[in-house]
Structures are given as structure tokens and as C-alpha cells.
Amino acid sequence: MRIFHKTSFDFIRFRKIAYGFSLVLLASGLISLAVKGLNYGIDFRGGSEVLIRFEKNIDVSTVRTVLDAAGVSGSLKQYGLDRSFLFSTVFNGETNDLKSLVSHALNDRLKGNHHEIVRIDAVGPSIASDLKWSAVKALIASLLAILIYVGFRFELKFATAGVVAIFHDILTVLGLFSILGGLFDFMPLEMDQSIIAAFLTIAGYSITDTVVVYDRIRERIRGQKPADYERIFNESMNQTLSRTIITSGTVLLSVLVLFIFAGPAIRGFAFAVFIGILIGTYSSIFVAAPLVFDWLRLSKSPVHLRGSKVS
Amino acid sequence: MLSMKNKRFNLLLIAAVTLVAAWSLWPTWRDYSLSQQLNSLRSAPDSLRFSLSNRDEIENARKKSLKLGLDLKGGMHLVMEVDQVDLFEQKAWNKDAKFIAIMKNVRAKASQSDARVLDILYGEFKNENMRLSRYFYDIRNSDQEIVKKLEKESEDALNRAKEIIRNRIDQYGVAEPVITTQGSRKLIIELPGVSDENRVRNLLKGTAKLEFRLLRDPEILVRTLDRLNTYIVQNSTALQSTSDSNAASSVSSQLKAPVPAKPASSRSLYDDIRVYQNGTAYTTEHSRDYVVSLIRRSDIQALLPQDTELLLSAKSDLINNEKHFTLYLVKKTPELTGGVITEAKATFGSQGVQPEVLMAMNSEGTSKWARITGANIGKRIAIVLDGAVYSAPVVQSKIPSGNSVINGIESLEEAKDLEIVLKAGALPAPVRIIEERSVGPSLGADYIRAGVLSLAWAFCAVSVFMLVYYKKAGIAADIALVLNIVIVLSVLAGFNASLSLPGIAGIVLTIGMAVDANVLIYERIREELDGGKVLKSAIEVGYDRAFSSIFDSHVTTLSAAFLLYTYGIGPIQGFALTLMIGTAASLFTSIVVTKEIFSFLLVRNLMTQKSFG
């Protein structure tokens, strides 16, 4: 079976449209980030969360009224879709009090519907700021590492364009989290540690497709005149199009499985990785390689690529 | 000739890796099949006989089998912090108002940041242009010397706290607890399979500071309360605002219904505290929070007689269907502390209904206790644990045996917990829970089901896709994929790492990424075949040319996963770990293993141009 066999798309000609599309994507994400902001999970916000599961179906507003009446202040929302609710409140060291308060209130007033507290998470403010910093550090360090590695393996222009593409991918996902945050009951799309893991996965993987395209360009560009660059870029992208899409496809397949089967705790992560890989595949063709092309065109100097084989 | 040698080496390597992986996963399989056998036995005697006769094997298999993470097994993950500010306060001497003010600042700053408390303390003293030696150690010590000493002090405190908490957990009985220290003030405690979380939390966080303190006479208590009342009524307007802010900052008030605010003019101490004829004072459960905040205030404490303190009872009495807590006025300096306790035992008291804890003291404690009781016959001595009075019996006679009793305990369970904490000894400084993640066993079972389902579906989807898209070559990729998953699991089992839900997510993601290398190789082979190369050389060139991209993409994924592992905490590390192992293993499985499969098939003429789809 073959998909995208012997294609001849003129990617370079359409790059301006792609730039425009990416800019719109990024701008809408950034506007939403500025206006609406992000939903932070307790990892970064600090606080306590209690996951309550009922035996029978029950309305979220009923539970909310009961907890309000008992004087337990906090917010309650549906968690996943299976009679589970997530109650979140401020952090204090007394999880015992919180737990007994919640379960007494529910036992007293919802006698017919047995409930179970299946999970408790409590994160103090110092831990939350700790987690936030390590997330930022991990992101910066991984982008730097990738920049250095690709710069070492190819050339600085290629590496920079690759890292720009990663930024593009992560910012798009971040923007999407801001736009869609809190809209769906089955996935809260909160920023927490798992989303940082998703970003690092995206960063590590986004460059994969880019490297495949770069590799082909490197293989073919040696000794060629700058006038032929457009043709070489286009041909290289067409030749690698099939593998770019199939490699992303297999990963998308397994992430989709995670999204469907792994439960609400993993859903936000799976969503982020899915979108990130989709965008990453797009950006390796429409952002990374065209940026290198434009850069080479404007600088007018021939490339000195490392590691290209003479064959 | 060289390639023949290479080939033999590769085959040996594949065989060795497979064998080591199988050997490492064997105990997991045994553990699983033994517990299946055990579950299939119906009667209790049968299963007992089975477990006794196979005890060694069961234990051995369990010890070496692949561990499940806390989220899958159910259990608690706690991060506790040793209160270093309190520790440094203990170490200081001639504390004055200035010192108290500085320490208050230090406490506020320390709760906001993750910086070392010692650095914050030093910084505050520098700001005030004061030397640490004014309050710490010897006046001749330089600041650096004192910082070094305090550093040692806090290190010791953390290690001692770790040991004491380990003792408490061991006595309570948790299978395979993991307790580690992190940085200068954090303890990380992992307790798999804990069912009674409330009890564990109480057991862990108490300082277990036991004190025997003399009670002041009831007349003094009555007079003191009168004095406090006059002060409070005088300052009632000013007080109203402070008590409100106190209530807001006290930990539990945010959760409980707020104490109804009273009109400022009628605020009197006796609204909240009742004094009876015999000189005992009570507060109701309703007013307890207010009274607690009151007796902690420094302006109130300043009005008390020299070297005394107001304390509440740990337990309440039911009077007219309302819980009443007794208020005690005790001497601030303890007569004797819990350090002398050598033995503690929870039992039922003389009537056989009230649980109590019997304690025995060492020889030094015994002689002191004899002297104290002898000198105070007819007086009351309060038994104070972590700032709450458990009982305050009247001394009937001199006690020469070094025995004492804590009563006023509600349940035998609580008495047992007291026994545990008293035996383990007091913590050097209070500890607080600053992070907690607990998962109940039912949710853990859900996670396991979700994880297994995801693994199965991801494997099916990806492997079927490879078969459909690449035909015969897909088989090689699928074999490599199976080996890859086996390697990930065996490395986890071999290094005693545990598998968590994020870890399973990492494996699922690995399934999608591991075949990428094969896709890159196969696509290149197809290209070479289209270019007119013969099968054998197309395969050679395919592997050769695709290697560079495969290597680059693996390095980037690996470095991202490695950084995630380094900076990530807890659950995220599990994900990063499986992703790292899986990616690294796929370099071997997707390249070396599939290539050997192809050369095996090529030699036997089992492949054609069409084998790559």
C-alpha cells in the first residue's frame, strides 16, 4: 500500500499562505492567552482536590448544593463522564478535616446514593512554585539542547528554523488550551505537570519530522547552485512526504488510543500531544524548511552543511 | 568476512538481550501465576497450605517482580516538610521581641519560596545589621561558623525525622514503604496500599512531644481569666478586627462554618469560656477555634502569671449534648519530658473500658519522676502531648517505679497510635504535609484496566497498520515492537522501578514512535527499489541512509525525555523513564533486530521485491 506516492506539490510557492495561516493560529492563541489566560491545575496553582465517585447517577448541581449547604467552600465540576466529580478548594495541611467534612455532608444529605472518595491531591504553595520553576527550566533546557544538537548536526540556520517550528507547535497547543480550556466536561484542559510532559514530548518529536526533511535536503543540496534551491527543497519535501506522514500517523494512532481508553487523568495530555504532533508535521513542511529556504535566499551565501555524505 | 563476523555478533546480542529480558521478567510471571493459583483455591485451609509450602517462592517472586506504582496499587504519596524555623527558634537563646519579629519575617518568607530557610534567616539578620551570635551559640562565633553549625543541626534534624517517621510507619505496618529525603527540609514518603489514610496522616504529622507539667491552682486560673476578661472588654473594639483576621488565617476556619461575629460592644471572655464553682473552666466546641486563637496571641500570653500557659484538653466531655473542652493553666517549664520514656503499651484501664497507654521510664526519668511526685502530693500534673492536655491526675503518692499513664483516650486504635509515636520518640521539630496524593484501591483498579486496554489497542492498531501498509516487512517491525515492549518492562523490573499510569502512557507513546524507525527504513528501501536496485542492495542502502535521520530523531526525543526526568517530579518521571527506555531500545530493536530478520529471510529466498508493500 502506498499513500502520497510520487507527489509533486509546490510547497515553496505556497509558503506565504502557510506563514499567514501560522501567524493567524499563533495570534489567536496569544490573544486568548492574554485575555482569557490558562486554567492552571493544582500542580501549579496549589490547592486541594477531592475526587468523589457516586454509585448512582447524580446531577452536579445537586452535589454542589449539598456541599454549599454544609459550608464547604470550593468549586465542584464533573470529572470525566462516569458519575465522578472533582471538588477543588484551597490548600491547608488538614486533609483529614477536608475529607471528613465532604464525606459527612454527602452521607448526611445524599443517603440513598453511596459515594466514595477515590483520590485526594493536595499541593502546598511552596511545592506549586517549585513545580512551576522546574517545568520552565525543563522546557528551556530541552529547547536549548535541541538547538545545539541540530546546530551541530546540520547548520545554525537549519537549527534555528527547527526550534522556531517547535516554538510554533508548542505555542499553538498552548493557545488552543487557552481557547478550549473549561469548555469540555470530558477533558478539563488544565495546565499541569502532564501538559509540560506533553510539551517536551512535542518538542522532542516535532524535530523528528523536520530532521527527516532536512536530511534529504542536505543529501541533495551539496554542490548545487542557489538558483536550484527552490527545486531541491520542493523535491526533497515531496520525496519525504510519505514517511513524514506515516511516522506521524503511527504516533497519532497510539495517542488517539490513549485519548480514548486511558481515562480522564491522561486525556489532557493525550489531547496536547495529538494536536502537537499534527501541528508539528504541518510545521516541518510549511514552517521549518521554508524558513531555511527564505533565510538562504536572503543571505545569498551558499550553505556549508555538516555531515553530508558524498555519494 | 567482516559482515559475517558482524552478523554473528548481532545474533549473539539479540539472543543475549532476549534472554536477559526474559530472566528479568520471569519473577513477574511467577508472581502472577502463583497468585492466580492461590486465588483459584476455594477453601481457606487449602490456600494456607499452598502459601506455606510455596512461601519461599512466593516471597522471592514478589520481591523481584515488576512493581506497580502508587496510582495503580492505591496508596499515599506524601511530601512532608520539617519546620526549620521552629528548629532554629529552639536553638536560639535569650529570645527577645526583636528576635520574635525577625523569625516571623523568616517564617513568612520561607512559606512563599523554596529557598533555604537558613539563607533567609541569614539574610534577615544582615538586613537588620545584626550578628547571628546574639541569639545563637557562642557570642565569639562568627556568622559563618554559626551558619555552618545550624546547617549541621538542620541536616541532623531531617535525618532524625526520617528515622522516627520510619519507625512509626514500621510499627503501624505498611508493606514496602519508601522514605527519602529531598533537599534540606523535605521528606518524601510513599505508602502503597494504605487503607486508613486519616490514621496515617495523624500518625505522621504529630511531633509526639510529651511533657509532664504542673497545674496551677484553680484560684489562680479564675483570677487570670478575670484579668483577661477585663483586658478583652476594654479592647473589644480593637479586638474585633484582630480576631477576624485571626479567624481568616487559622487553617481550619476556611472549611468550617464561620464563627458568628458578635457585636463589638458585648464581647466578653465569658461568652466563650464558662467557669464552674470548683474552679474548672470549659469552652464549647463552637467557641474552640476562637479560644485557640486567643490563647496563642502574644498580648494575651503577656497577661498570664510568670512561667504559665493556657492549654486546652485534647478530648472533650459531653455536657448537655454539647462537646466541652477543658481549659488548663499549666507551668510553661515541663517537669519532665518524653525523652525519658523507654516503653509504652496500649491497654484497657482498671474498669476495662477506658483505653489507656502505660509508660515506663529509664533510670534517670524514674528518679526524677519519684522526686517530682513526692514533692507535689495533692497537686495535679498535666500530661501534655503536642500542646494538648490528655489528663491531669492528682498526685496521690510518690511514684518510685517510673510508671505513668495517659488516659482520656477515646478508642483503642488511638491508644495504639499513641503507643507507636511514644515508642518512636519525638520529632526534633514539627513536620507538615505540604503535598499529598492519595489514590484509593478502586481507582487504582480502574487505572490498571485503562492502562492495559490502551496498551492492547495501541499495539493492535499500530501492528496491524504496519502489516497492511508494509506487508511482509511489517512482520519484522511487529516482532521488533514486541521485543521493544518486553525490554521496557524488563528494565523496569530489573532496576526495581515501578510502573505507573503515566509510565504506561509512555509505553503506548513508545509503541507509536518505535515503528517510526522502521517506516523511515522501509520508505527508503522502497525508494531504492523504485530506483532499480536489487532487493539485497536496496535493503543495505535503506538501512544505511535512513540511519542518520533515525539517530537524530532518537537523540532529540531522548534528550527531551531525559530533561523531563531530571526536572520532573513523581508521576511525570515515570512517563519520562519508560519513554527513554523505549526510545533507546527501539534503536536496537527497529534497526538491528529487523535487519537480522531480513538477512535471515533473504538467505532462504523468502523475500521478493513485493515484500515491502
Domain of residue A116, CATH code: 3.30.70.100
From A123, A145, A176, the end of a domain falls on A123
pLDDT at A34: 94
How many whole angstroms separate alpha carbon B248 and alpha carbon B393?
A: 36
How many whole angstroms separate alpha carbon A309 and alpha carbon B492?
A: 39
pLDDT at B45: 83
Place of cell 517505679: B401
CA atoms within 13 A on the CB side of B486: 20
Contact B561 A124 (CB under 8 A): no
Which domain does A73 fall in, by range? 47-123
How many whole angstroms separate alpha carbon B609 and alpha carbon B530?
A: 10
pLDDT at B247: 42
pLDDT at B257: 41
Confirm if B513 and B464 have CB atoms less than 8 A apart.
no
Task: Name the nearest CA neighbour of A190 among A39, A21, A27, A3.
Answer: A39
> A281 in a domain, yes or no?
yes
DSSP letters, B393-438, are PBP-S---S-EEEE---S-HHHHHHHHHHHHH---SS-EEEEEEEE
pLDDT at B549: 87
A8 contacts: CB under 8 Å, gap ≥ 6: A234, A238
Which cell is B586 given?
Answer: 527501539
* Residues of chain A positioned with their CB less than 8 A from the CB of B469: 1, 246
2.60.40.2230, 3.40.1160.10, 3.30.70.3270, 1.20.1640.10: CATH of B441-612: 1.20.1640.10
Mean pLDDT, chain A, rounded, equals: 87
Contact B556 A118 (CB under 8 A): no
How many whole angstroms separate alpha carbon B335 and alpha carbon B220?
A: 19
Residue B81, exposed/middle/buried by CB under 10 A (0-12, 13-18, 19+)?
A: buried
CA of B510 vs chain A CAs: smallest distance (Å)? 8
B331 phi and psi angles, rounded to 5 deg? -70, 140
B373 contacts: CB under 8 Å, gap ≥ 6: B381, B395, B397, B398, B399
- Report the SS3 class of residue B281: strand
Three-point CA angle B204, B446, A173, nearest 5°: 95
Q: Are residues A173 and A134 in the same domain?
A: yes
- For B111, which of A72, A119, A125 is closest by C-beta distance? A125
pLDDT at A306: 66
Q: How confident is the model at residue A303 (pLDDT cuts 50, 70, 90)?
A: low
CA of B137 vs chain A CAs: smallest distance (Å)? 30
Q: Are residues A83 and A204 in the same domain?
A: no
B266-273: Cβ within 8 A, 24+ apart: B267/B232, B267/B233, B267/B236, B267/B239, B267/B240, B268/B229, B268/B232, B268/B233, B269/B225, B269/B228, B269/B229, B269/B232, B269/B233, B270/B229, B273/B225, B273/B327
How many other β-carbons are positioned within 10 Å of the β-carbon of residue B28?
19
Q: Are residues A110 and A136 in the same domain?
A: no
Which cell is A311 given?
Answer: 555519494
pLDDT at B153: 85
> A256 in a domain, yes or no?
yes
Chain B: residue nearest A72 by CA?
A: B255
Residue B387, exposed/middle/buried by CB under 10 A (0-12, 13-18, 19+)?
A: middle
> A108 in a domain, yes or no?
yes
- For B567, which of A138, A145, A253 is closest by C-beta distance? A138
Chain B: residue nearest A128 by CA?
A: B435
- Counting DSSP H helices and E strands in chain B, the numbers are 21, 18
Q: Are residues A162 and A286 in the same domain?
A: yes
From A94, A123, A152, the end of a domain falls on A123
Q: Where are the alpha helices (DSSP H) in B471-500?
A: 472-494
Task: Name the nearest CA neighbour of B189 among B199, B176, B202.
Answer: B176
pLDDT at B463: 96
Q: What is the mean pLDDT of residues A246-270?
A: 92
Q: Are residues A210 and A232 in the same domain?
A: yes
Q: Are residues A25 and A174 in the same domain?
A: yes
Please write down the HEC assignment for all residues of B314-346: CCCEEECCEEEEEEEEEECCCCEEHHHEEEEEE
How many whole angstroms separate alpha carbon A19 and alpha carbon A9?
A: 17
Contact A1 B512 (CB under 8 A): no
- For B519, which of A53, A243, A253 is closest by C-beta distance? A243
Which cell is B149 given?
Answer: 553549625
CA of B192 vs chain A CAs: smallest distance (Å)? 14
**pLDDT, tens only, A172-201:** 999 999 999 878 877 878 888 899 999 999
How many whole angstroms separate alpha carbon A230 and alpha carbon B585?
A: 38
Write out residues 443-462 of B within 8 Å (CB-CB) of A: 443, 446-447, 450-451, 453-454, 457-458, 461-462
How many whole angstroms separate alpha carbon A111 and alpha carbon B508?
A: 41
pTM for the whole thing? 0.83
Contact B113 A126 (CB under 8 A): yes
Contact B111 A145 (CB under 8 A): no
How many whole angstroms separate alpha carbon B575 and alpha carbon B495?
A: 16
Enumerate the domain spans of chain B.
1-65, 75-205, 211-407, 441-612
Task: Given CATH 3.30.70.3400, say whether it is the number of domain B75-205.
Answer: yes
Task: Name the nearest CA neighbour of B198 among B442, B388, B417.
Answer: B417
In chain A, how many domains are there?
A: 2
Q: Where are the alpha helices (DSSP H) in B182-338?
A: 197-205, 218-234, 236-249, 285-296, 298-302
Q: Are residues A213 and A244 in the same domain?
A: yes
- For A211, which of B202, B552, B575 is closest by C-beta distance? B552
Task: Name the nearest CA neighbour of B537 among B547, B527, B551.
Answer: B527
pLDDT at B238: 56
pLDDT at B112: 74
How many whole angstroms separate alpha carbon B92 and alpha carbon B209?
A: 19
Please determine, for residue A26, whether its predicted confidence score (pLDDT) is greater than 50.
yes
- What DSSP element (H or E) covers B251? none
Q: Which of A247, A267, A311 to mutate to test the interface with B (most CBs of B within 10 A)?
A: A247
How many whole angstroms separate alpha carbon A162 and alpha carbon A203?
A: 10
Place of cell 510545521: A283
Chain A: residue nearest B112 by CA?
A: A126
Q: How confident is the model at residue A56 (pLDDT cuts 50, 70, 90)?
A: confident
Q: Where residue A289 sits, what CATH number does that domain have?
A: 1.20.1640.10
Please determine, for residue A13, whether its predicted confidence score (pLDDT) is greater than 70.
yes
Beta strands B498-499; B67-68: pairing state? parallel
Contact A153 B553 (CB under 8 A): no
Beta strands B355-361; B273-275: pairing state? unpaired
pLDDT at A170: 93
Q: Are residues A149 and A56 in the same domain?
A: no
Q: Are residues A255 and A118 in the same domain?
A: no
Exposure letters A47-69 (e unless 16+ CB within 10 A, then b): bbbbbbbbeeebeeeebbebbee
> A310 in a domain, yes or no?
no
Beta strands B431-439; A115-123: pairing state? antiparallel
Which cell is A148 given?
Answer: 545545539
Beta strands B355-361; B341-348: pairing state? antiparallel
| Cα dihedral across residues B461, B463, B464, B469: positive or negative | positive
Confirm if A181 and A36 have CB atoms less than 8 A apart.
yes
> A107 in a domain, yes or no?
yes
pLDDT at B259: 44
Q: Are residues A148 and A115 in the same domain?
A: no
Q: Which amino acid is at B346?
A: A
How many whole angstroms separate alpha carbon B238 and alpha carbon B241?
A: 6
- For A153, which of B501, B511, B552 is closest by C-beta distance? B552
Task: Name the nearest CA neighbour of B577 among B564, B595, B596.
Answer: B564
Segments in chain B below pLDDT 70? 1-5, 236-267, 352
> A136 in a domain, yes or no?
yes
Write out residues 333-392 of B within 8 Å (CB-CB) of A: none
Chains A, B: CB pairs < 8 Å:
258
Contact A89 B255 (CB under 8 A): yes
B404 phi and psi angles, rounded to 5 deg? -150, 170
Contact B434 A96 (CB under 8 A): no
pLDDT at A258: 94
Locate the DSSP E strands across B466-600: 498-499
Q: Are residues A22 and A160 in the same domain?
A: yes
B224 contacts: CB under 8 Å, gap ≥ 6: B303, B304, B305, B308, B310, B329
Q: Are residues A136 and A193 in the same domain?
A: yes
Which cell is A41 given?
Answer: 491545575
Interface predicted TM-score (ipTM): 0.91
